[in-house]
Amino acid sequence: MLTHLSIRNVVLIAALDLSFGPGLGVLTGETGAGKSILLDSLGLALGARADTGLVRQGEAQASVTATFDEPPAGHPVRTLLIDNDLALEQGEPLLIRRTLKADGGSRAFINDQPCSAALLREVGAMLVEIHGQHDDRGLLNPRGHRALLDAFGRCDTAAVALAHAAWRAAEAALAEARETVASAARDRDYLDHAVAELAAFAPEPGEEAHLAGERATMQKGARLTDDLAAVTTFLDGSEGGLAQLRQAARRLDRIAEDHPLLAEALAALDRAVIEASEAEEHLARAHEALTFDPARLDGMETRLFDLRALARKHQVQPDDLAALQAEMTARLQMIDAGEEGLAALEADLAVKAAAYAQAAQTLTAQRIAAAARLDAAVAAELAPLKLDAARFRTAIAPLDEAQWGPQGADRVEFEISTNPGAPFAPLVKIASGGELSRFILALKVALAQEGGADTMIFDEIDRGVGGAVASAIGDRLARLSQGSQLLVVTHSPQVAARGASHMLIAKSSEGTVTRTGVRPLDDAERREEIARMLSGAEITVEARAQAGRLLERV
């Protein structure tokens, strides 16, 4: 609910701060007093197009701030704000603000955080509905008629949305499969050759590192072969170093007991023999490890070079060749099994399309039943509004299959016929200003049980009518305001008398400066304003008495 509106430097309004309450609030004033300025100011705050002509002459900037009660849990505006990282704090009112520079450019804020004008407009549409004879959004916009009918009739669109998503997913899967098969088929010759080549080569993951390591070891062995042979010659054989050490140890063993130093020398020789034996064993193992077959080395190098060349050819790493072979083999298998796979996807698509068509048909039946109830509800409101000859209908027509969507396969539009025998046509095309206003009111009353924005504004919806019709409009506005907030700009005393609150819009001049102001009226002032609306420029006793009777009747 709108609680406060603060306007600065908008056309004739220098500074204005207004407070609003629940129920029906009426705004009255003489023609030209500035009622449209007030609505234009609110529209600016709600995200309407920023026209620099709204900035008060001589001022650099205009601004409008609208404050709303904290939206209750589950309100769609909360979800929208969360999705845009503008979540409300608990217990915090919702404050939206718009500034407009005289030289062009505007800025939008939600709770003092910058936002886009588009987001402000979307939030504003969830908070306030503005209805008037020149309103091209709201109830006059056919784009919203289907959603309004669905809400009125409690039509289940969720099942259709799910069926539509499944149908489109099946279409996408089939299209992707067809493209994959077609692409693979175009590459059949290349795939056959590549798979045969890879299969013959049989690459393995990690093979490059293994070949490179073994090759390095064999190359090292080739370099060390001569040195190992020479060292082995020094140790091996009857004339080698190890044999000489053993012979010396045996001879020394026969005389070692003759002197302690000889025993120590023998012990040292024994240790030398042991160390030399270990060295001989290590040399033998090293020789075995480093022994290479030149033919095997050549084969290994050839395999390594071919592996790397094959990887470069296919623009992958050598370790990825095995995976590439598997992928290409799978593509060939897809070609071979493509028709069978496509047939299965086509069958699945047919099932999903049929499921959507059935769900959409069920939704259409629900809409037709809801349309009959809505037409009856609106018809019941037309006679009291002196639209006895008019007829209203909810036209439901099938959409082309290309236009079927998650909300079904129907086009919904509200239509009227204003005279007996006249054809039905969209509301906005054939109704006069006064008739259109009353049609909007009748339709809004019929749809009221389904809720809507917390704040509704009716701009001169009673223009061109009076007497009993104006009383009927006032009655319906009062009924519509129960449990919600309605603001009505009116020229009708019958409507003004039904208000729970009353504000007067007036223009004043000080020298060459003209200003528009708005102020709430107390009971006495309200009676006087309604009397003025009844009698014109000169307020008569009879007008005051009639104003009193209108207020007493409420």
What is the average pLDDT value for the chain, to the nearest integer?
85
For the stretch 105-142, pLDDT in tens is 899 999 989 999 999 999 988 898 887 655 544 677 78
List the single range of 237-241, 454-458, 514-518 with lowest mean pLDDT: 237-241
Q: How far apart are CA 29 and CA 504, in angstroms?
A: 6
For the stretch 71-108, pLDDT in tens is 888 788 888 988 898 878 888 899 999 999 998 889 99
For the stretch 3-13, pLDDT in tens is 999 999 998 88
pLDDT at 394: 94
Q: Which of 459, 460, 463, 456 is nearest to 478 (CA)?
A: 456
For the stretch 146-157, pLDDT in tens is 988 998 898 989
Residue, of 436 and 310, whose pLDDT is higher? 310
Task: Tell me the mean pLDDT in the region 316-320.
Answer: 90
227 pLDDT above the threshold of 80: no
59 pLDDT above the threshold of 80: yes
Task: Tell me the mean pLDDT in the region 22-26.
Answer: 92
Task: Tell me the mean pLDDT in the region 316-345.
Answer: 84
Residue, of 14 and 242, whose pLDDT is higher? 14
Q: How far apart are CA 14 and CA 157, in angstroms?
A: 48
226 pLDDT above the threshold of 50: yes
For the stretch 464-513, pLDDT in tens is 777 788 888 888 888 888 878 999 988 889 999 999 999 998 888 776 67
Task: Tell me the mean pLDDT in the region 384-402.
Answer: 90
273 pLDDT above the threshold of 50: yes
Q: Which of 79, 78, 102 is nearest to 92 (CA)?
A: 78
pLDDT at 66: 94
pLDDT at 428: 67
pLDDT range class, residue 303, cuts 50, 70, 90: confident
pLDDT at 289: 64
Cβ-based burial of 162 (10 A; exposed 0-12, middle 13-18, buried ≥19): middle
Where are the extended beta strands (E) located within 385-471? 391-398, 410-417, 425-426, 455-459
Strand partners, 523: none
Q: How far apart are CA 381 and CA 368, in angstroms?
A: 20
436 pLDDT above the threshold of 80: no
Distance of CA 357 to the CA centre of its chain: 27
pLDDT range class, residue 444, cuts 50, 70, 90: confident
391 pLDDT above the threshold of 60: yes
pLDDT at 451: 56
Quick one: angle between helices 117-127 and 76-83, nearest 10? 170
User: What is the token pair recorded at 140?
Assistant: 């006059």
Helices (H), 154-187: 158-186
Domain boundaries, the chain: 189-332
Q: How far apart are CA 325 and CA 203, in angstroms?
A: 9
Q: At 253, which amino acid appears?
A: D
Task: Tell me the mean pLDDT in the region 40-50.
Answer: 89
Residue, of 227 and 92, whose pLDDT is higher? 92
pTM (2 d.p.):
0.61
pLDDT range class, residue 524, cuts 50, 70, 90: very high
